[in-house]
Amino acid sequence: MNSFLYQKTILTKTKLSVLVIMFFAPLSIVISQNQPNIVWVVCEDISPYIGAYGDATVRTPNIDALAQEGVRFTRVYTTAGVCAPSRSSIITGMNQISIGTSHMRTKNRPSLMPEGVPSHSAVLPKNVKAFPEYLRKVGYYTTNNAKEDYQFEEPVTVWDESSVAASYQNRAPGQPFYSVFNFAISHESQIISPPDSLHHQPDEMVLPLYYENTAQMRHDKAALYTRIEQMDSDVGELITQLKEDGVYDSSYVIFYSDHGGNLPWMKREVLERGLHIPFIVKYPNGTNAGTVNNDLISSIDFAPSMLSIAGAEIPGYLQGKAFLGPGKSQEKNRYVFAGRDRMADKYDRVRSVSDGTFRYVYNFHPEVSKYQDLAYRKQMASMQEIIEMRDAGTITNPYLLDWFKTPKPQEELYYTAKDPDEVHNLANEPSYWKKKEELKQVLFEWLEAVGDMGEIPEKEMVVEQWWNGKNEPPLTKNPKIKKNREGVALSCDTEGASIGYRIFDGSPADTTITRPIHTWGFYWLFRDGDKKTIEVPKPWSVYAGGTIPLKKGQTIQVNAHRIGYRPNETTYKFN
């Protein structure tokens, strides 16, 4: 069952909205065909190595064409240099350090967690939701194909569909949609396992200043460019599908990377190379085509911007500003912030602020080196070579040697507009003292304002604060079903819980449906496989108050879930 059943569609060729009156409560929620569709095209682990951003080597014709038809944003930054913390801030509109999702990662195999820290779903503040839930409440069909990685198990109310089969194509006729398509082919793992053949000769590659100029390092950068070009081809296939389905022109199509990266000393860093991302917006009907936006934007601004596009109310707790849609903020960012905490089982705490010209970094633990000895990253051939050279004492590049120095400086200041590789630390230069003090003050005022949970020992945060000293998270309490003449109303004793429901004509039996697997999206590896379909859960509807109409003999299944708590389900047969 889809989130909304349509009772009547009023068709008109005028500029008036086409209203679709929904069968389910609350009746005050209506869908307007003036609500634009939103498509997110999300790649992984790349800085702006895109032709449209001036890279003369890489070939990205499909993304370049999207930029020609849209707006190329030049100064967009993520809040973390690694996927799960970054994605947690994007989906919630809250910086990861303020909600306890900054450690990479929280949901992990126990053997990969630090000693004494259980694998866990982060317990978010009671008012914090994943923002697609708000889109569903104003009529959007929400799909995610297919990576989540939010540091928490999301409630059933977030997505109509989240799987390798998820697609806007399954929505009701005329229903606006928000659809995410994740492309993993540029992920770090795809350099660890490089392509069989390269699109570029390694000798063509120009390396950043912080690498030794070795054949292996040039090979891995050529592999990165090859993967980006393969990703561009995948993006082209998706855009072709959007056009064939007749939704391209009427949609916002937004291309971006979940953070920078992905070679050694890029990914995971709160520097330009870990945070600066490509970001392109194709507006409906080609508005603003071929233009450039130089505003300073954080990924914390994505959530309020999507709600603005949809015409949804923007919750006051969100920490970002809308930069798109009718609810666009008139106030622009003067600074963007980022943080890094635990990676695998290695703890560090680093905070960063940029004004778009300078970057200030504060290291809370100067006693450890900038380098973190991560088993996953050491699978990459160039990383292995760097370690071998370090151990043999053959590194001659002073900037690369700086990665391994202990102690590291407590403060770093980079003139990023002139030093994009951030190899010249100006923190001790008297002529830059005023700028350093400005950014330091801004950073610590921001930490005070949003709250920095990174200063709390992780085990204490999880077990003592979130789980109340227990060995498992709390249970979402008592989802309740109250019958009336027309149907039922729902409630839950746990404040902040989201409530989803599904209706069956009899008792719940088949709770899954078969969907075709799509050949674009995160699971591009399925292309050469034999598997064509997959079983996915039947979508849940979002409860937004009021009475849910039921017929005699129907059964309602209810799922209540506060993020970070264990979900709780109940069913009721209406007689």
Q: Which residues are catalytic?
A: 83
CB 476 within 8 A of CB 564: no
Q: Which residues contact 53 (CB under 8 A, 6 or more apart)?
A: 72, 74, 278
Helices (H) and strands (E) in the chain, counts: 12, 24
User: How many CA atoms, within 13 angstroms, populate the side-chain half-sphere of residue 396?
Assistant: 3
User: How many CA atoms, within 13 angstroms, populate the side-chain half-sphere of residue 42?
Assistant: 24
Q: What are phi and psi of 201, to 5 degrees?
A: -75, 135
User: 82: which strand partners?
Assistant: none
CB 234 within 8 A of CB 183: yes
Q: Which residues contact 212 (CB under 8 A, 6 or more apart)?
A: 386, 389, 395, 396, 397, 400
CB 110 within 8 A of CB 119: yes
What is the dihedral angle through the alpha carbons of 221, 224, 230, 236, rounded to the nearest 10 degrees?
-110
CA distance 187 to 145: 16
Q: Which residues contact 67 (CB under 8 A, 6 or more apart)?
A: 50, 52, 280, 290
Could you say which DSSP state residue 36 is in? P
What the block records as the tokens of 402 is 């700086």
User: 556: which strand partners?
Assistant: 503, 572
What the block records as the tokens of 236 is 């082209």
User: 343: which strand partners?
Assistant: 104, 346
DSSP-derived pairing of the beta strands 19-22 and 30-32: antiparallel
Token pair 């997110």 is found at 40
Cα–Cα separations (whole angstroms), residue 39 to 128, 167, 208, 252: 23, 11, 33, 6
Nearest to 99 by CA among 38, 137, 150, 55: 150
Nearest to 40 by CA among 105, 91, 78: 91
